[in-house]
Structure 1
């Protein structure tokens, strides 16, 4: 399958930015209330099934991150990641990497790279995969090809995995991401220029762009891998 089969229809080259504001006093009280409830639920699960605990840990980590208690959030999300990886719960492992990235700790960027590797390699929800690849776009310098590789991979994954009732909306989201990247990378402003840009960068064929994305992920993670990729590949579903 190549990207030629899915011609990109670009209406605008705008970008909708989500502005994340720090919680106000009322919001903080509500977040603290939810946090206390989740902690009680976690305590009640002592000795319970591993993934039930891991998912609660992720909920708590999200609340802690929102409360700017990012070191605490990192610790819990890291535990949840380890448990998810052990149980081959790839979706939860990627969710954990998403939280770890957003805690802005020393290893947050490698966590993002590992989350992208898992999200692309395993059959993870395409919306979550898109979110992880969008982080790569945001973290990649304007002139680098890495953002283009991430954006086109997001579209490719959506084509493979999105259910029929969500494929159109998710594809539009990915197309807009590709357009945004093309505009900032090479000042692409119309469909003809976009087609030429994609051809020039080899963004039509997954056998070309996926290995190149792998190189980007290797650069992002460096020598900080928390797992053996070859061993995990052996656990891929048939």
Structure 2
């Protein structure tokens, strides 16, 4: 059913594809295949977007996120949460906060994590302390996870630019890397034992009661 639905979707027969995906979804629910359910829901959301039914697409995408959380498929959940933060503008911040909270705890690909941090940074009110927390976390994960990564230099450059922007938004003009390092030290942004708990607390406050997965299940 799933494969046949995919063929219909490729041929542009959206209604037939949706009907088959729905049958596939019912079957997977009946046998308790949570991972398969999440994959089918994800495909249904793409078709709903394609058909112009944004409300339906977002609802299905949220169901997909919930199913992935139940299946503890956290890498896929990170991707779906990131997609939700872009697609659902009204609830972007809670989804961003959940995606980042999760991404910091699992082996998220470094470019995906830094890009999420950069996107999040751009959603934050200028001058908010969260800007600096996000920027310094980007630089931190480059150092912690980036050894040997082919994009490391570019990702570090992006992170440093974010830090400089965060400082400038607070009225601090930094003329050199040494000055940037000194500012990080003064703000305790060079110590992950200090800035990571501050960031996590902000993220959890932003999510509030809108978790789409159980954070207690994440190791």
Mark yes or no: TM-score above 0.5. yes
TM-score normalised by the shorter chain: which range applies?
0.7 to 0.9
My pick for the range that moved more, 149-158 or 184-193, is 184-193
Higher mean alpha-carbon deviation, 182-191 vs 33-42, is at 33-42
Q: Where does structure 1 lack aligned partners over 5 or more consecutive residues?
A: 1-30
Structure 1: how far apart are the matches of 2:16 and 2:166? 41
What's the TM-score, normalizing by structure 2?
0.75
Asked if the contact 1:54/1:83 (under 8 Å) is kept, the reply is: yes
Q: Match of 2:83?
A: 99
Secondary structure of the corresponding residue to residue 104 of structure 2? helix
Contact 2:97 2:204 in 1 (8 A): yes
Q: Any idea what the Cα deviations from partners look like across 1:104-156, whole Å, max 9, x if unmatched?
A: 35443212211111111222222222233223212222121101101111222
Structure 2 unaligned blocks of 5 or more: 1-9
Q: Which moved more, 1:185-194 or 1:65-74?
A: 65-74
Offset at residue 33 of structure 1 (A): 4.3
C-alpha distance in 1 between matches for 2:11 and 2:44: 10
Residue 123 of structure 1 corresponds to 107
Alpha-carbon distance between aligned partners in 2 of 1:40 and 1:211, rounded to the nearest angstrom: 46
Q: What does residue range 44-59 of structure 1 map to in structure 2 within 5 Å? A: 45-46=24-25, 47=27, 50-55=34-39, 57-58=41-42
- Tell me, in whole angstroms, the C-alpha distance in 1 between the residues paired with 2:181 and 2:148: 26
**CA–CA distance in structure 2, aligned partners of residues 45 and 227 of structure 1:** 23
Secondary structure in structure 2 of the residue aligned to 1:164: coil
Higher helix share: 2
**Which protein is bigger by CA-based radius of gyration?**
2
Residues 42 and 121 from structure 1, CA distance in 2 versus in 1: closer, same or farther, beyond 3 angstroms? same
Identify the structure with bigger relative contact order (alpha carbons < 8 Å, sequence gap 6+): 1
**Structure 1 residues 39 and 213: CA distance shift in structure 2, 3 A:** same
1:60 to 1:226, Cα distance in 2 relative to 1, 3 A: closer
Q: Which residue of 2 aligns with 1:85?
A: 69
Tell me the C-alpha RMSD between the 2 structures: 3.2
Deviation at 1:56, TM superposition (A): 5.3
**Following TM superposition, by how much is the alpha carbon of 1:41 offset from its aligned partner in structure 2, in angstroms?**
7.9
Q: Which residue in the other structure is 2:170 paired with? A: 185
Using the size of structure 1 for normalisation, the TM-score is 0.70
Deviation, structure 1 residue 60: 5.4
Aligned positions, number: 203
